[in-house]
Amino acid sequence: MKPTDLTDALNGVDPAFIKESEPEAASGTQGRYKPWARIAALAAALAVLISAGTVAAWHGFRKPTAQDETGLQALLRPLTACAAEYPAQTPYPAEGELAPQSELEAWTKADLERRQKYYGAGKSLAAYFARSLPAFLEGSAGQNSVCSPLNIYFALAMLAEISGGETRAQVLSLLGAPDLKTMRTQANRVFNANYRNDGSAACILADSLWLNENVTFNRNTLKTLAEQYYASTYRGKPGTEDFDKAIRAWVNSQTGDLLQDVVSGIATDELTSLALYTTAYFGDKWQAEFSADETKQDVFHGPDGDAEAAFMHATDLWGEYYWGQHFGAVKKDLQQHGAVWFVLPDEGTSPEDLLRDEEALRFLFTGNKYSDWQNKKSLRVNLSLPKFDVSSQLSLREGLQKLGVTDCFNEKADFSPLTGDKPVAVSEINHGARVIADEKGVTAAAYTEMLLAGAAMPPEDEMDFTLDRPFLFAVMSDDYMPLFVGVVNQP
Amino acid sequence: MEDQEILRLFNARKEAAIRESRRKFGPLIRSLALRLLGSREDAEETENDTYMKVWTAVPPAQPLPLAPYFSAVCRRTALDRLRARTREKRGAGAYEESLSELAESIPGKDDGRAFADSIALQNALNDFLSALTPEARLIFLRRYWWFCSVAEIARSRGTTEGAVKMSLSRTRAKLKAFLKEEQLYETD
């Protein structure tokens, strides 16, 4: 036996002995460590419109606030038929201030309770997301495209709530819900799992229904919309400036004025019987910042040729590298609300190909990828990501029809739970979204050649992941809900 | 942050797990690595390697409390680094001293062969440590687990270096007798 045997064996002694003998930490050993708390921003917003109108666009990262709250209320008050109350949330102590410990503790406790209460709320929706996403994003080959699967889900859930008969059955079938009651409960849980407007980050979901004042309506249905979907209903004269102005003000207030350009084009006409708007605003900081000083111009190999792009660079990203037959993927954590996943197709494969690839879709909507996805390796990743600002306006009508939701668009439409009046049909479903990923810091993309070959395992404990050609991204909540999914062909 | 919450971050694969671990355990494991390696740069690298190893191991491992776990991973990592370095003729004081002292606890001749059954030895050491007085155990582990100097131990315990040396000497003698009784040594 050697003394080193004893030294080694001591490593396995009871942790309680280690704990009780723990020396006071040397205070002089701190210093020279890479800071972890960095900044960057990612924000998104969108609006969905049924029956009339257009949607979304935007700029920058801001927490949405109504610029003129008094003016907004003055516009909405006379039109309000049924107002929803949003869930109360414990406020997050303001950054930059020395908040009492009790405030932070109260927020932490409330946040934990909320997570626990609604954990797994959207688990059964994975199949719906995987099925519907390709239908919504297809047809934009070579272009950027983005949508919010979660937002579309709420629009469809409300559509099911206000429709009846086969019209409702088609929507429920698409959503994978056995009946309305199940879907209602699920939608409410999904809303609460994701809604966040407490000052720590923003994931603000908002729904509203706009009715022609000539249409009679079932107050119980409006009450259900308010209680289960937090949707307010407004009633007025479509085609008038006051009505359109109120809609625009409402959408702008819910999206922090980020969609102003497109929202300014919203206009109903006197034939509009109902319009449904759902919005989602999302903003959070990166868990670990990019350093702005190291952002460098480099080449992005787009479908229409090479172009310069500003690449952000983050070294020592802790995590896993995942791979499939035709892609490699990593995630970058957000501070409060999940993470952004970056999925890079192999050379010769496009993001659009991945949206048709069963394995890639399964990967995207696998909840806990760490426990459930076999092809992974823990390592440190050096991420090079082009700053991007992608937006698109999509008509969901064709996609929904392909997915079997047809009756709501034609004379078979049944909206009897909402109104017994003349036939009402959905004329259009538009969806607009924009996602901006930027930094207030970054790193030069000392990028290496892509090494994301199909099923090959990365050999080292550290790798470069350089998104210098078209890629997919997905903003996923902690609960694995796809808040936004998009294709970046041109950053 | 509570250990449970840090563990949750590891399980959720959140980078914040590393940030919080660094905040909570960084000073402890840095000082351990520094004592062993004597080099701030090596200690930093050892600390980072420790986080990587814990990141890879948790889950499935669910160690609680976390401090002993981080410390044990760091100690093992630092020892490996030290031995690699020693092979390059760059020994470190605290480690060499501890080996020299522990040699007194080995029954029979040091034949230079590695002990075969490390698990049995670990179990025996736990039994041995359990039977010590809390103060003797603490001093022994501070010296041979945490690699603190005699002067450091004396200062933190409010006693003299002579008293610490005496305690260590007695414990090593007891350990030798214990290992002999347990027949945990190779007899040629």
pLDDT digits (tens, 9 = 90+) for B53-94: 898 888 888 998 999 999 999 999 998 888 887 655 544 577
| Total CB pairs under 8 A between chain A and B | 169
Contact A7 B98 (CB under 8 A): yes
Q: Which of B59, B83, B125 shows the shortest C-beta gap to A13?
A: B125
Pick the CATH number of B94-181 from 1.10.10.10, 1.10.287.130, 3.90.1150.10, 1.10.150.80: 1.10.10.10
Looking at beta carbons, which residues of chain A come within 8 Å of B145? Answer: 10, 13, 17-18, 21
Query: What's residue A460's pLDDT?
Result: 59
Contact B106 A6 (CB under 8 A): yes
A404: pLDDT confidence band, cut at 50, 70 and 90?
very high
Q: Which of A3, A19, A32 shows the shortest C-beta gap to B99?
A: A3
Searching chain A, which residue's CA lies closest to the CA of residue B175?
A6
Searching chain A, which residue's CA lies closest to the CA of residue B102?
A3
Three-state SS at A100: coil
Q: If you average pLDDT over each of A258-267, A388-397, B179-188, which comes out highest?
A: A388-397
B109: pLDDT confidence band, cut at 50, 70 and 90?
low
A252: pLDDT confidence band, cut at 50, 70 and 90?
confident
Looking at beta carbons, which residues of chain B come within 8 Å of A32? Answer: 40, 44
Q: Which of A13, A21, A318 shows the shortest C-beta gap to B55?
A: A318
Assess whether pLDDT exceeds 80 at residue A262.
no
Q: Which of A5, A23, A335 shows the shortest C-beta gap to B115?
A: A5
Smallest CA–CA distance, residue A95 to chain B, in Å, is: 18
Contact B144 A7 (CB under 8 A): yes
Query: What's residue A51's pLDDT?
Result: 30
**Pair B55, A376: CB distance under 8 Å:** no
Q: Which of B16, B113, B125 shows the shortest C-beta gap to A10?
A: B125
Looking at beta carbons, which residues of chain A come within 8 Å of B44? Answer: 32-33
Mean pLDDT to the nearest integer, A45-55: 30
Which CATH code fits B3-86? 1.10.1740.10
Looking at beta carbons, which residues of chain A come within 8 Å of B79? Answer: 7-8, 11
Q: Quick one: residue A238, left, alpha or beta (phi over 0 = left, psi -120 to 50 = alpha)?
A: beta
A74-83, B26-35, B152-161: which has the minimum mean pLDDT? A74-83
A53: pLDDT confidence band, cut at 50, 70 and 90?
very low
Q: What are phi and psi of B87, to 5 degrees?
A: -65, -25
Q: If you average pLDDT over each of A71-85, A169-183, A230-244, which comes out highest?
A: A169-183
Task: Name the strand (E) or helix (H) holding A351.
Answer: helix A351-354
Amino acid in the structure at residue A365? F
Contact A37 B152 (CB under 8 A): no
Looking at beta carbons, which residues of chain B come within 8 Å of A286? Answer: none
Looking at beta carbons, which residues of chain A come within 8 Å of B15? Answer: 36, 287-288, 317-319, 333
B110: pLDDT confidence band, cut at 50, 70 and 90?
low
Contact B138 A20 (CB under 8 A): yes
Assess whether pLDDT exceeds 70 at residue B35.
yes
d(CA A124, CA A175) in angstroms, rounded, equals 9
Optimal mutation site among A8, A13, A462, interface B, most CBs of chain B within 10 A = A13
Residues 6+ apart with CB under 8 A from A137: A145, A147, A352, A355, A394, A485, A486, A487
Contact B44 A288 (CB under 8 A): no
Smallest CA–CA distance, residue A220 to chain B, in Å, is: 41
Contact A9 B152 (CB under 8 A): no
Contact B68 A18 (CB under 8 A): yes
Searching chain A, which residue's CA lies closest to the CA of residue B71?
A18
Smallest CA–CA distance, residue B8 to chain A, in Å, is: 11
Query: What's residue A320's pLDDT?
Result: 86
Q: Which residues pair with A431 in a beta bridge?
A: A48, A394
Query: What's residue A390's pLDDT?
Result: 79
**Nearest partner of A382 among A325, A318, A322, judged by Cα:** A318
Three-state SS at A226: helix
Cis preceding linkage at B60, omega within 30:
yes
A98: pLDDT confidence band, cut at 50, 70 and 90?
low
d(CA A273, CA A51) in angstroms, rounded, equals 8
Contact A11 B72 (CB under 8 A): yes
Mean pLDDT to the nearest integer, A107-136: 85
Assess whether pLDDT exceeds 80 at residue A294.
yes
If one compares A482 and A168, the residue with the highest pLDDT of the two is: A168
Q: Could you give the angle at the alpha carbon of A285 between the alpha carbons of A491 and A43, nearest 5°?
A: 50
Q: What are phi and psi of A383, to 5 degrees?
A: -95, 130
Mean pLDDT, chain A, whole residue set: 78
Smallest CA–CA distance, residue A450 to chain B, in Å, is: 24
Query: What's residue B92's pLDDT?
Result: 59
d(CA A14, CA A37) in angstroms, rounded, equals 35
Task: Name the strand (E) or helix (H) holding A300.
Answer: strand A296-302
Assess whether pLDDT exceeds 50 at residue A176.
yes
**Pair A81, A235: CB distance under 8 Å:** yes
Where are the domains positioned within chain B?
Answer: 3-86, 94-181
Q: If you average pLDDT over each of A4-18, A28-42, A76-90, A223-237, which comes out highest?
A: A223-237
Looking at beta carbons, which residues of chain B come within 8 Å of A12? Answer: 72, 118-119, 122, 125
Looking at beta carbons, which residues of chain A come within 8 Å of B174? Answer: none
Smallest CA–CA distance, residue A240 to chain B, in Å, is: 50
d(CA A61, CA A42) in angstroms, rounded, equals 7
Smallest CA–CA distance, residue A4 to chain B, in Å, is: 7
Residue A478: exposed, middle, or buried by beta-carbon count in 10 A (0-12, 13-18, 19+)? Answer: middle
B112: pLDDT confidence band, cut at 50, 70 and 90?
low
